[in-house]
Amino acid sequence: MNSMAIEMLVPRYGIAWYPWAVQYFFLIALSYATLWLAVPGLIFGKKAWMPTARIAMLACVSTTLVGPVALLADLHQPLRFWHFYGYPAPWSWMSLGSFILPLYLGAVVVLAWMSWRPALKARSQHDDGWFSKVAGWLSWGHWEVPRPLMVLVGLGALALSLGIMVYTGAEVAIVRARPLWHTYWLPFAFVATGFIGACGLVMLLNRISQVRNAITNRQMFSVMIGACIAMGFIALTWFLDGVNAVDGSVAMALDSIKDSEQWRNTALWGGIAGIALFVIAIILRLRERLWGWGWLVGLLALHVAWMFRWVVLMDVQTVARNSAGYHNYDMAFGSYGLMGILGTFGLWIAAILLIDLFVPWRGNEARAITDKSSSSSDISTGAPSHG
Partner 1 sequence: MDPIRRSLLGQLAKLTAGAALVPLSSVASAGINDQPPRRGGDPEKRYGMLIDLRRCIGCQACTVSCHIENAAPLGNFRTVVSQFEVEHEETGELATFMLPRLCNHCENPPCVPVCPVQATFQRQDGIVVVDSDRCVGCAYCVNACPYDARFINPRTQTADKCTFCAHRLEANLLPACVESCVGGARIIGDMRDPQSEISQLIEQHRGELMVLKPEKNTLPQVFYLGMDERFTTRPDGIKPAIWDVANQNGKEIGYEFDGH
Interface with partner 1 by CB under 8 A: which residues? Answer: 1-14, 16-17, 74-78, 80-81, 83-84, 86-98, 170-171, 174-178, 255, 317, 320-325, 328
Largest CA distance in the chain: 84
Task: Decide if 302 contacts 59 (C-beta within 8 A).
Answer: no
- Which residues, listed in sequence order, are joined to residue 319 by a DSSP beta bridge? 326
* Closer Cβ to partner 1, 78 or 271, answer by number: 78
Phi, psi of 326 (to 5 degrees): -135, 150
The nearer residue to partner 1, 10 or 283, going by C-beta atoms, is: 10
The sign of the CA dihedral 351, 352, 358, 363 is positive
Measured from the CB of residue 102, what is the shortest distance to partner 1 in angstroms? 14
Nearer of residues 122 and 170 to partner 1, judged by Cβ = 170
Closest contact distance (angstroms) between CB of 248 and partner 1 is: 9
Nearer to partner 1, 20 or 278 (CB): 20
The angle formed by the CA atoms of residues 354, 30 and 39, to the nearest 5 degrees, is 90
| Closest approach of partner 1 to the CB of residue 189, in Å | 18
Q: Closer to partner 1 at the Cβ: 4 or 286?
A: 4
In sequence order, which residues have a C-beta less than 8 Å from that of residue 152 and are 6 or more positions away? none
CB of 178 or CB of 367, closer to partner 1: 178
Q: How far is Cα of residue 17 from the mean position of the Cα atoms in its chain?
A: 19
Query: How far is C-alpha 340 from the chain's CA centre?
Result: 17
Instruction: Give min distance, CB of 82 to partner 1, in A.
Output: 9
Q: How far is the CB of 329 from partner 1 (least distance, A)?
A: 12
Closest approach, Cβ 258 to partner 1, in A, equals: 10
Q: 309-334: b or e for each residue (b if 16 or more CB lie within 10 Å)?
A: bbbbbbbbbbbeeeeeebbebeeeee
